[in-house]
Structure formats: structure tokens, C-alpha cells
Chain A
């Protein structure tokens, strides 16, 4: 792992956020509480092979059972699939508040066994999320900790322990690795902007990457920016399709992302009112590349990449659809990941909130 600049040590996760695989089975883990992205050698036990169908009911309860808590104390933050072994990785928060503990869980697609991913003594690297508090933002919120965290301050003869935390934070909502670069989308807890951050990998000390704002135009009339909620590189990483919190689906070529340049994406579709994009994945069917978008209010949306390339920007206010798309009757899907060449793995919740893993055959999508 020397070629990726990893050093052995303890990955001290403070929170579990989005995860994504990079080169050589390295897993990127966003830790929003620490404003850090870790690159972790997860030492996947393998073996490499073709992925067959895999369905696992009550995945939240199974993970909860392993971690010693009720399903309600399990929050699955994200899912990624190892590209060779197809082991399923879940980023999980166990418990809440001060008792919350971030855990990376690995589920074998052979038998559905659950284990936690070792983080105590593993090769890893880390980079600070660039939209974390600016150097000139000295606002800190000071609280009294219950434990021994924070720093000890002496006032006259009294010593007290204080924790100082930044007020401004950035929350990573999605990540993807493409061609030597980790792309990070995030939400600020203050300004409203659509920053997409690019961090070269291997990480270099002092280089936290660059970010730029990608605008999009609604119906040829209003240019606007909003946080990117989910995105997916496709066309070998040359193109990006991003879905925004205000629901337009926007295309832009990766080559457009030049430092300091104003980037305007092309709105190719909208996902509808009172709806949020949750995750996106690309897959190949009959030699053609397609994208799947998971939504909070609709079934899975399937879009052909060739239609995206052909689609002119949405211009008419009443134009309802944009790029041709097919809505699948698959509800409650929160996360998507490629599961070999023949399947897409979905993390799906039923009406009662119980979650399952479900492999969707790409030939049938």
C-alpha cells in the first residue's frame, strides 16, 4: 500500500458517513464529525469471483444483533461493494448521542455473515475536508465534556476541561473515485452552495484539493446553485451526472471542472416535486450504459447515458420530463451499488422501516 501513501495505525473514526471504493480495494470513509476523509485498506478477505444473486432480509436487525443493539439503534449511512469479492460494506452508526459509535460492517454475499472491519491497526491515510472551517473562522462552540475529551484549562486554582468545536461544518453527502481523483459533494451548515471538491489520491500533505461551484439553469430562465446530493461518474469517468437537493439532474463533463472557472451544468431531467435524490449508480445493459437514480418519493429512475448526451437543456417551464426515463416499481431504495457486472445491489426499506439487501439483475432492469 506504499504506492498509495498509506501508513499503519488506528483509524479513529468519530462518525460514519458516505463510503466509496477507490483503487486496489481502498475504501474511502467520510467522517463528517471530524471533517476528514479516510482512505482505509480494509484487507478484504475475498475471494474474488463473479457475483451471483444475493438477497438478505432484515439487514438492519442482523447488523444490530451483531453490534448488540435493537434495529432502531442502527443507522445505515451508506453502502459500498468491494469490486472483486463483492463483499458488502456498510457504514453504520450504532446508538445515538454520546453513546453513538461509528462502525464499518462487512457482509459476505456468501451466507450473509456479518463482521466489523478492523480499524485499529490498518494501513490508512486521511485528508481534511476542504470546506471545513476556514482558517479565519475562529468561531468555536465551547462545551463541558462528560469524559476526558477536550483540553484542560486552568482558571486561577480551578482546572476545568473544555471541548471546543467549530460552528461551521461541512457534511459530505456523496463521494466517488475517478481517475486518480476523489470527488466529494457536501452540504454546508451555513452558506447555500454547490461545491464539488476534487482531492487527488494518493493524498498529499497540505493539499486538500480544490472545489468549484457548478451552476445549473432551470428552463433556460433561472441560473441557480444548490448543494449536490448524489452524483455518479460515467462514460469511463469523463462525465458526471449529479442530482441536486432541489431535484434537477444535471450533466457536466469532468474536464469542465477547472479551478477558478465557472461551471454550468446542463439540466437534463427533473425528479419531481417533494422528492429527494438519494443515490445513483451506472451499469451496462446490452452494451449500453445506463444510470439508476434512487429517490425518496418515486421508484428507481433509469436513464440511458446516450439520451443524456443527446438531451438539449430543458428550456420550457412546462416541459415535464427532459431526458427519457423509465420509472421502476421499486420503492424505498435508499442506496445503490454495482454488484459485479450482472447485478446492482440495493439497500431497500419497507413501509415499516425494515431494511433489506436486494440484488437487481441488470438484464431485467
Chain B
């Protein structure tokens, strides 16, 4: 009679086997089979030519220890086969923990987005597991029904390095003019018809736990936005010299939350970067920088990276899809744009 228990051997987790004769053929398979039954068919992997779990069998006193090459996974059952017969099943229980992870923000925060909205971001309170975005993030109408085919179906989920920020793209084939996706299915959104970005609580965090609750953000939908982002049209509220009051920049339309985090810089006399606390304003319509040290009474420059985009993917240097007949759509130089200002 084989007895199998979770154990440790040589510092590694293992399945300890008692009552197994020396030289017996011992194999471990993921999956559940009731001990004592014989498997004539090919349903069970062990009899269907499937490889057993990689690992080694160490002798430890009178026992044998199966030490896996790849760690046992929580939530998985393991069947020990001795001489081709299931001898024991061990279940690797998933630790019981309360769900604590939640959505901490959905961007943009603008109340209204253009009908050709390209991108949203979802922030989570803790690192997440990959593989759930397609099933748990959706565009919904006010009646709760989903808008099918609105989001880019991608096997490549776009996370930041710590897997706390997910980038969600609407299907560009339905936003770009002239493509079959747009011609046949139209924009994923409809002007004048509100929608919600919904994150289901089935989204798993890195611990494998669901979210504490689902989350959503509702948006009104406006018209098309197909203009360059134009820093020359921004309004600057210039702070007085000698103070640490923030420089305030107002854009005139919402810009991309992610890119705003890195595309704006202030340089002072001698082009030295002005360090301070940068904040994106409500609705991603403005940005401010409160310097660590008081403003000098000298010419400063706001430096704008030309990759900075609005909500529809139009950037400083190019529009999202350029109408070749429109001179205004001509690409602009892909170099930083600078706006001079002088605290006085």
C-alpha cells in the first residue's frame, strides 16, 4: 500500500512515498485519478503516452521522495502512478485569502472622449496576472450590454513593468479611415452614445485572487478628433520669480495619461532640468510643475516630446491617420517643441 504525503527533501518540496518497493516504476502526473482504479483507455495522460512530470526520485530512509523540476502549482492535483496504476492523489490547495486587490483608477478621467478614442489605462492596487484582460475588460453600453469587437483582440497584453497598469486599445482597424474594419463595422464608439469601460472582478491578481469588486468608468462620446497636438495653442500660467508656485499648462483638449507622465519637461537657465512635483490636472486637460527650488527670473523652456498624443492617438508630430489631401495633416518635425516663458 503506497502512502503519499507532501514533504520536503534536501530543502526542496517533494511528494514523500512510503510503501513503494525499491526499483518500482513511479511517475507523477498533474490531474486527478482515483487511487486503486485501473485505466484501460487513453483518457488519462499516463496511459496516453503523455510525459510524466519532470523530476527525480530520491531515496530518503525507507521512503522515496519525488522532487519536481518545476515547483508544484497551487490549485493543482497530482496523481502518483506506481507500476502504471494510480496509487495516490495529492491536492496542492490554493491558500485561502481574502480578495484585496482593486482597480485604483481608469484613465482618461475626461468626462467626454472623442469618438475615435484609441487608448485607456487601468490601474490596479497590486501586481496582476496576465491572461485575463481579454475576458475581463470590456466596453459596455448604458444598458449593460457589451459592445463586441470594440477592443483590440491581442494575445499581447500591454502592462507596465510591475503589472499594475494595463493599457487597453480600441481596435485601430475600426478607427482608421479607409480600412475594411472601419468601412464595414464603423467606429467602436458612437457619438452621443455614452459607454462604460468595465473591469470584471474575475481579473486575477498576481496571487491568483480575484478583484475585491468590479470597476467601471462612464464616458460621454463626442465627435472626431483628428488634429495634431499643438503646443503653440496651449495656455501657460507663468508663476512669479522667487516663488515655488507651480507652472500651469492648459492644453485645450485632453491628452494621453501615460504619455503626459514623461513627455513634458521644464528646463531653466542653461537648459538645466527643473526638478519638482509634476501633476496632471483633471480630465488630463492640464499639467503643472511645482519646482523644488524657487523660479529664477530668467527664460525657461517647456520642452514637449513630439510623441505626446491626445486621446485619439494624434501626436505633436503626426495625426493618427493622415488625409493626404489635407495640407493641415502634413507631418511636423519629430523633434521636441519648446515654449519659452519667463517667471518675473
Contacts and interface: CB of A to CB of B under 8 A. Distances in A.
A67 B178 contact: no
A143 B165 CA distance: 12
Interface string B40-66: 000001000111111100000000000
A254 B31 CA distance: 49
A168 B262 contact: yes
Contact of B52 (A58, A65, A245, A270): A65
B180 A68 contact: no
B172 A246 contact: yes
Nearest to A297: B153
B177 A320 contact: no
Contact of A193 (B173, B307, B322): B307
Contacts of B160: 141, 165-169, 189
A311 interface: no
B90 to A, nearest CB: 12
B68 to A, nearest CB: 5
A139 B158 contact: no
B130 A143 contact: no
A66 B129 contact: no
Given A61-B45, A165-B161, A217 B324 contact: yes
Interface stretch (B1-9, B199-207, B215-223, B230-238): B199-207
Given A68-B30, A98-B207, A276-B153, A166 B161 contact: yes
A163 B322 CA distance: 41
Interface string A147-169: 00000000000000001011111
Interface string B116-155: 0011000000111111000000000000000001001111
Nearest to A138: B262
B263 to A, nearest CB: 9
Nearest to A95: B73
Chain A interface residue number, banded: 35 or more
Contacts of B324: 217, 220-223
In terms of DSSP, what is the predominant structure of the interface of chain B?
Answer: loop
Contact of A248 (B128, B130, B179, B265): B179
A197 interface: no
B53 A65 contact: yes
Interface string A126-141: 0000000010110111
Interface residues of B, number: 79
Given A96-B204, A247-B180, A221 B30 contact: no
Contacts of A96: 129-131, 204, 208
B124 to A, nearest CB: 11
A85 interface: no
B192 to A, nearest CB: 23
A103 interface: yes
Given A61-B45, A68-B70, A97-B206, A171 B158 contact: yes
Interface in B53-97: 53-55, 68-74, 76, 78
B50 A273 contact: no
Nearest to B172: A246
Interface string A177-220: 00000000001111111000000000000000000000001111
A323 B309 CA distance: 34
Contacts of B265: 136
Contacts of B37: none
A141 B162 contact: yes
A69 interface: yes
A280 to B, nearest CB: 15
A274 interface: yes
A67 to B, nearest CB: 5
B261 interface: yes
A240 interface: no
A224 B207 contact: no
Contact of A65 (B30, B71, B321): B30
A141 B161 contact: yes
Interface string B153-174: 1111011111011010101111
A66 B262 CA distance: 44
Contacts of A342: none
A97 B165 contact: no
Nearest to B262: A137
Interface stretch (B239-247, B281-289, B312-320): B312-320
Contact of A68 (B53, B185, B261, B262): B53
A192 B119 contact: yes
Nearest to A221: B178
Contacts of A263: none
Nearest to A144: B126
Nearest to B77: A70
Interface of A: 33, 58, 61-62, 64-70, 73, 75, 93-101, 103, 112-116, 134, 136-137, 139-143, 163, 165-169, 171, 173, 187-193, 217-226, 245-248, 270, 272-276, 278, 296, 317, 320
Given A70-B30, A97-B204, 17 more contacts: A62-B45, A65-B51, A68-B54, A94-B70, A97-B128, A97-B206, A97-B207, A116-B69, A169-B158, A169-B161, A191-B309, A192-B119, A218-B321, A246-B176, A274-B185, A296-B153, A320-B180
Interface of B: 28-31, 45, 49-55, 68-74, 76, 78, 118-119, 126-131, 149, 152-156, 158-162, 164-165, 167, 169, 171-174, 176-181, 183-185, 204-208, 256, 258-259, 261-262, 265, 307, 309, 313, 315, 318, 320-325
Q: Closest 7 CB pairs between A and B? A: A165-B161, A218-B178, A97-B206, A97-B129, A165-B162, A68-B53, A189-B158
